[in-house]
Amino acid sequence: MQDTGRIKSTLHPEASAIVFDADLRRAASDELPFYAEIDRAQAIMLERVGLIDRGLAKNVLVELDRLQAEGFHSVVFSPAPRGSYLAYEDHLRLVIGKEASNLHLGRSRNDINATLLKLKLRGPYRELAGELLELLRVLCGLARAHFETILPLHTHRQPALPSTLAHHLAAFAGALARDLDALLAVHPLLNRSCLGAGVGGGTTLPILPNLTAELLGFATPPVNSIDSVASRDLVLRLLAGCAILGSNLSRIAETLLLWIGDAGLASLPDELVGSSSAMPHKRNPFLLEQVQGKAGAAVGCFVAAITGMHSTPFTNCVAVGTEATRHVWSGIDNSIGSVRLIRLCFTGLTIAADAASAMLDRSFVNAMETATRLAVNGSLDFRSAHNEVGQLVTTAIERGAPTLLAVMQGGRAADLEVSPAPDVIARTARAGGGPAPDAVAAALDELERGIERSTALLRDLGAGWSRARAELRSAIASLDGPML
């Protein structure tokens, strides 16, 4: 398409090379199948309201099926001086006739591209949510197997309190479950069609946006035509979810690196570590660093997208719909990779129970409980007990004593309950969501109920999209029937 009536030449070659991909082979999978699906629904709708005749609709649908079967080969090797959509439309005009451009009645590239984005996002969206669900199932399953696996809780990278592996895993799952909730919260926006909004002013034609929405698997048609073509906050909300998910994944990965590193509390199997090209003894948990890097990239995608949309006019805008939006694919892809990698690491994680027990024994992690019990039994007020126990820790370290009891004096030293062992604390600290098995089990029960709700929501979304594909095929088949 060179002469548009208003514009007499193609775009300058240097500009075209920057803004359009002259090689349409990537479009054969990224865009053209979605243009075809949109056009199938559009042809059905336009024929139904009498804006195109049945013969044209059938010719269009036959050609779209042929193109799909050949992988859009005929379009891929066509000139694309003004992008993939016009190359695709030019092909339909060439094969079917000029009247094929009547498919464009009541719409524009603005609402087509906004609709295409949502269709194209369905697969990655379901994949990311599905990967998060699988990670949550792994974490909950591992937690139920490790209620009694004692592990130090660290603060400021130092052993602080007795905990369990189950307690930690349930904490990780709690944060990630909220990330999943945030991603799933955008599904009503993903499931709203933009087709029919046109350039942004709607149309005076008697089109049926409800019908095209239904045939494409959307729950609702456009509500406001300007909003439909101007807004890409769906992208921002998805990328914001990916960014926060990435932050949580990076922190979880850092905790695992702490356990696996000098602390020696855990290890990964050979298939989940790397070697050094120079140091024969190394077993590097580099996959956890990959998690952190990919998670950070997702944050960058969000920043790039929101910066690209900032201070742009509230109407269709290339800076928003094209440049800012392009970051969503990398953001979701990096998030999927991060979730998969950390799931593999959790699946292969082994806790060094002896090392964990030794760290607890030598780190005075029962000091806070000792001070608390001295205050509760009336021996001292809490701040005085806090100071006294702090002094006892210092004395124990100076003397090389292994426990607080070894340096406690007077009647208090005879009461073993004043300074309980770390595993006793971990088994009995239930208030406030502590590591006691029954408290962790209650948290897991709630998490697993949420997993089931999210699974059902995602399943229903997919079923709706599948049902719409069947309805569209049925509508196409009905064109061969008698005229109503």
pLDDT grade for 4, boundaries at 50, 70 and 90 = low
Q: Which of 156-160, 180-184, 444-448 comes out lowest in average pLDDT?
A: 156-160
Average pLDDT, the chain: 92
Angle between helices 327-348 and 286-309 (to 10 degrees): 160
pLDDT grade for 22, boundaries at 50, 70 and 90 = low
- pLDDT tens digits for 239-253? 999 999 999 999 999
What are the tokens at 4? 């548009």
What's the whole-number mean pLDDT along residues 400-406? 82
pLDDT given at position 28 = 66
pLDDT given at position 29 = 76
Q: Which of 25-34, 99-108, 242-251, 329-338 comes out lowest in average pLDDT?
A: 25-34
Whether the per-residue pLDDT at 330 is higher than 70: the answer is yes
In a 13 Å sphere around the CA of 59, the CA atoms on its Cβ side amount to 17
pLDDT given at position 406 = 79
Distance of alpha carbon 345 from alpha carbon 272, whole angstroms: 7
Which of the residue ranges 21-30, 168-177, 277-286 has the most confident prediction, judged by mean pLDDT? 168-177
pLDDT given at position 408 = 77
Question: Any bridge partners for residue 159, and if so which?
Answer: 154
Distance of alpha carbon 390 from alpha carbon 240, whole angstroms: 44
Architecture field, domain 13-105: Orthogonal Bundle (1.10)
Whether the Cβ atoms of residue 25 and residue 73 lie closer than 8 Å to each other: no
% pLDDT > 90, the chain: 80
* Segment 6-15 long-range contacts (CB within 8 Å, at least 24 positions apart): 10/81, 10/82, 11/81, 11/82
What's the whole-number mean pLDDT along residues 194-206? 97
Task: Indicate if 110-148+162-358+439-467 has the same CATH topology as 13-105.
Answer: no
pLDDT given at position 87 = 87
What are the tokens at 391? 């002094």
pLDDT given at position 263 = 83
pLDDT grade for 9, boundaries at 50, 70 and 90 = confident
- Maximum separation of any 2 CA atoms in the chain, in Å: 102
Whether the per-residue pLDDT at 435 is higher than 70: the answer is yes
What are the tokens at 176? 């990630």
pLDDT given at position 162 = 96
pLDDT grade for 1, boundaries at 50, 70 and 90 = very low
In the CATH scheme, what is the homologous superfamily, with its name and number, of domain 110-148+162-358+439-467? Fumarase/aspartase (Central domain) (1.20.200.10)
Whether the per-residue pLDDT at 382 is higher than 60: the answer is yes
Whether the per-residue pLDDT at 98 is higher than 80: the answer is yes
Whether the Cβ atoms of residue 436 and residue 444 lie closer than 8 Å to each other: no
- pLDDT tens digits for 297-317? 999 999 999 999 999 999 999
- Other Cβ atoms less than 10 A from the Cβ of 457: the count is 13
pLDDT given at position 8 = 72
- pLDDT tens digits for 220-233? 999 999 999 999 99
- For the chain, domain boundaries: 13-105, 110-148+162-358+439-467, 367-420
Question: What string of H, E and C letters represents the secondary structure of 362-391?
Answer: HCCCCHHHHHHHHHHCCCCCHHHHHHHHHH
- Other Cβ atoms less than 10 A from the Cβ of 51: the count is 18
| Residue 35, C-beta contacts closer than 8 angstroms, at least 6 positions apart | 84, 85, 88, 112, 116
pLDDT given at position 414 = 46
Distance of alpha carbon 266 from alpha carbon 108, whole angstroms: 57
Start-to-end Cα distance in the chain = 37
pLDDT given at position 378 = 81
pLDDT given at position 11 = 75
In this prediction the pTM is 0.92
Query: Which class for 432: exposed (0-12), middle (13-18), buried (19 or more C-beta within 10 A)?
Result: exposed
Query: Which class for 64: exposed (0-12), middle (13-18), buried (19 or more C-beta within 10 A)?
Result: buried
Which of left, alpha, beta for 15 (phi over 0: left; psi -120 to 50: alpha)?
A: alpha
pLDDT given at position 415 = 53
Q: Which of 85-89, 320-324, 363-367, 440-444 comes out lowest in average pLDDT?
A: 85-89
| Residue 198, C-beta contacts closer than 8 angstroms, at least 6 positions apart | 106, 107, 108, 110, 111, 225, 229
What are the tokens at 312? 């742009």
DSSP H helices in 185-285 = 187-190, 209-215, 225-230, 233-260
% pLDDT > 70, the chain: 94
- pLDDT tens digits for 126-159? 999 999 999 999 999 999 999 999 999 999 999 9
pLDDT grade for 484, boundaries at 50, 70 and 90 = very low
